[in-house]
Amino acid sequence: MKTTSPSSTTESASRPRAARALVPAAAAALLCAAALALYAAVGCDLNDPDRDVKRLFPGSTGYKTLYVSISRKGGQDLLQKIEARLGDRFAGLFETIDVPYTMYEIYKGQELIGYIHGTNQKGTYGGLQVFLALDRQGVIRGFYLQKLTSKAAKAFRDPAFGGQFLGLSLADFYAYDIVTGKEDPPGAVGRIANPDTASDRDFRAILRATKKNLVLVDEFLLGNPHLKFFKG
């Protein structure tokens, strides 16, 4: 686990400076190599964590970076459970069982105030990245498209579009079928308006990435409080 503060330092806030100074250079090199290996896989990281954390959580004073994967936590059995909750099979480079997910715990002083997590998703012209800022209950408080190649990129990045996701949680997304693009019974997700109907594939990719994001956060960070709403 890596801890970083918004002041651009890379030192761990969870250990005294003296203790940090005792870490052998060889061990530090191994840690760096491990981190690079994670980035070599198809993970999804904030481009500028110090800046982006402060923007998504203006009152924050620091954050911790966690690296997790389905393969390490539960393997094939866990993958099947996550796929069932998502309502679709994982496929392609962005969704292998060993993809490293980078999750950020956000702090104000010593208090945990929320989370940030991003997921990769295939769009019409390439990959897109959907980041969510979530409170401690997994409710969306911020929506950020870090990467998007689409003819409707400007419309999807308009705050009015992202604002439609605020206040939603995984409980809302369970009724949304990402394969058919329908919600049964109709609810909050179905009311999210596509700002460009000519780019429906990208719109549905964004919704899929959001639901996947929420499922992974529920599993890896929250302890699955939304599992009780799952009807599958």
Compute the residue count for the chain: 232
Query: What six digits make up the tokens of 129?
Result: 């990245």
pTM, two decimals, is 0.82
| The pLDDT value given to residue 176 | 96
How many angstroms separate the Cα of 204 from the Cα of each of 155, 184, 195, 199, 201?
Answer: 14, 16, 12, 9, 5
Could you report how far apart the first and last alpha carbons of the chain are, in Å? 33
| The pLDDT value given to residue 38 | 41
| The pLDDT value given to residue 42 | 63
Domain count, the chain: 1
| The pLDDT value given to residue 6 | 35
CB 183 within 8 A of CB 176: yes
Per-run averaged pLDDT (10 residues), the chain, 232 residues: 36 32 39 41 86 96 97 96 97 92 98 98 93 98 96 96 98 96 94 96 97 98 92 80
SS3 of 33-66: the string is: HHHHHHHHCCCCCCCCHHHHHHHHCCCCCEEEEE
Distance CA 119, CA 128 (A): 8
SS3 content of the chain, % helix, strand, coil (to 5): 40, 20, 35
SS3 of 89-134: the string is: CCCCHHHCCCCCEEEEEEEECCEEEEEEEEEEEECCCCEEEEEEEE
| The pLDDT value given to residue 15 | 32
Structural domain harbouring 134:
2-229
Distance CA 92, CA 214 (A): 20
| The pLDDT value given to residue 195 | 96
